[in-house]
């Protein structure tokens, strides 16, 4: 296990992933309270809202209100998700820490369902967004390949397909003289297993050894923590995650399935393995309990019920 990172960065996406999929209306004040509590735990980056069509995702209709209301803590980045230039322009009009990003999908069918366009059109849209970012001086912070490990609609995804899509993204960035600070490989609908994590991460890293990689894992079928361990064993030091295991993809076609890998459970795993997260685990477990109270039903996170080991360890 020589490749374990010393420090892991957890990018908290619970407020966005979670509250966009919840059926009930979540009060803006509750979202703000939850985000503020998360920012007090040592997390350095919290994705607060998504700037998407409120007709398709009614739970995010108050994105601007959340962004404007929350009290910011120094040293924490408060981000928002956007999927097209219109969303980006909405995001830029708020006080959030908005950066450029590029996205592609390893599955054509998922791209159409999630983004409303095939991957060729999606790439062209990224080109226009990049041009807009460059003209406004907005730095491009990350790229993501969704459904990189499999797709409920299209089925298995060949590793080669992921490599091709990454190559397209990087070529697009080069058109603008840009490099990608980090590429996120997303197991959007919970198809990954430790072998496929090793295969995809290995193939991308072999072709682009200097490209920093992150993992966006979903626990749809219970494998997220094993997949995270394989990522850690390969030296991955950046994970997207959601407090309490909030989330799930509204367009993935399995209502009720588990959501993102749970932030506090993953942070606990890391800390127990001697990998620094910078997070106060007890405070984060308390956030998870707050999330359950806000959504009004049990969430999948375990640490919030099992408790941390700090005071038990002696």
Give CA 234 to chain center in angstroms: 19
Q: Establish if 262 lies at the interface with its own copies (CB under 8 A).
A: yes
Sheet holding 183-187, edge to edge: 77-82, 45-51, 9-12, 238-241, 213-217, 183-187, 140-146, 100-105
Stretch that binds its own copies, among 57-65, 83-91, 137-145, 305-313 (CB under 8 A): 305-313
> Which of 67, 185, 269, 295 lies at the binding interface for its own copies (CB under 8 A)?
269
* Both tokens assigned to 108: 């054509």
Count Cβ atoms within 10 A of the Cβ of residue 1 and give its class: 0-12 exposed, 13-18 middle, 19 or more buried.
exposed
Strands (E), the chain: 9-12, 45-51, 77-82, 100-105, 140-146, 183-187, 213-217, 238-241
- The answer to the question of residue 108 lying near its own copies (CB under 8 A) is no
18 binds its own copies (CB under 8 A): no
Binders in 142-161 for its own copies, by CB under 8 A: 150, 152, 155-156
194 binds its own copies (CB under 8 A): yes
Which range touches its own copies (CB under 8 A), out of 28-36, 52-60, 235-243, 293-301? 293-301
- Whole-angstrom distance, CA of residue 298 vs CA of residue 56: 25
User: For residue 83, what are the CA distances in angstroms to 19, 48, 92, 112?
Assistant: 17, 15, 13, 13
234 sits near its own copies (criterion: CB under 8 A): no
* Separation CA 188–CA 252 (nearest Å): 8
Q: Using the rule CB under 8 A, which residue among 57, 61, 198, 283 binds its own copies?
A: 198
Q: Which is nearer to its own copies, 77 or 289 (CB)?
A: 289
Residue 277 as a binder of its own copies (CB under 8 A): the answer is no
In contact, 294 and 30? CB cutoff 8 Å:
yes
Residue 226's CB: how many other CB atoms inside 10 A?
Answer: 14
Our finding on whether 92 is near its own copies (CB under 8 A) is: no
Q: How far is the CB of 146 from its own copies (least distance, A)?
A: 16
Those residues whose C-beta lies under 8 Å from the C-beta of residue 210, and which sit 6 or more positions away, are none
Among 151, 249, 262, 270, the active-site one is 249
Stretch that binds its own copies, among 48-56, 121-129, 134-142, 189-197 (CB under 8 A): 189-197
Q: Which residues pair with 12 in a beta bridge?
A: 46, 241
> Mask: binding to its own copies, 210-229, rule CB under 8 A, as x and -?
---------xxxxxxxx-xx
- Residue 249 is a catalytic residue: yes
Q: Just list the catalytic residues.
A: 249
Which residue ranges make up the site for its own copies (CB under 8 A)? 1, 150, 152, 155-156, 190-191, 193-196, 198, 219-226, 228-230, 254, 256-258, 262, 265-266, 268-269, 272-274, 298, 300-303, 305-309, 312-314
């Amino acid at each position: 296990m020589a490749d374990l990172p010393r420090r892991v960065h957890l990018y908290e996406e619970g407020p966005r992933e979670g509250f966009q999929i919840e059926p009930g209306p979540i009060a803006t004040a509750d979202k703000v309270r939850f985000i503020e509590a998360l920012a007090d735990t040592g997390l350095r980056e919290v994705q607060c809202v998504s700037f998407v069509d409120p007709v398709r995702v009614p739970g995010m209709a108050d994105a601007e209100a959340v962004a404007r209301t929350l009290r910011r803590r120094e040293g924490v980045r408060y981000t928002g998700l956007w999927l097209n230039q219109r969303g980006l322009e909405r995001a830029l009009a708020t006080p959030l820490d908005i950066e450029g990003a590029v996205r592609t999908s390893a599955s054509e069918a998922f791209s159409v369902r999630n983004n409303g366009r095939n991957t060729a059109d999606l790439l062209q849209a990224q080109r226009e967004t990049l041009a807009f970012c460059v003209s406004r001086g907005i730095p491009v912070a990350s790229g993501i390949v969704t459904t990189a490990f499999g797709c409920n609609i299209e089925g298995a995804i060949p590793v080669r397909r992921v490599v091709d899509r990454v190559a397209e993204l990087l070529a697009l960035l080069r058109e603008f003289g840009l490099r990608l600070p980090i590429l996120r490989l997303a197991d959007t609908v919970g198809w990954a297993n430790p072998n496929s994590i090793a295969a995809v991460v290995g193939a991308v890293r072999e072709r682009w050894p200097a490209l920093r990689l992150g993992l966006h894992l979903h626990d749809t079928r219970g494998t997220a923590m094993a997949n995270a361990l394989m990522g850690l064993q390969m030296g991955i030091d950046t994970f997207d995650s959601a407090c309490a295991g909030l989330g799930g993809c509204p367009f993935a076609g399995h209502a009720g399935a588990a959501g993102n890998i749970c932030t506090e459970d993953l942070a606990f795993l890391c800390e127990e393995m001697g990998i620094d997260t910078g997070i106060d685990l007890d405070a984060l477990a308390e956030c998870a309990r707050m999330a359950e109270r806000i959504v009004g039903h049990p969430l999948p996170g375990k640490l919030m019920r099992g408790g941390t080991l700090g005071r038990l360890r002696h």
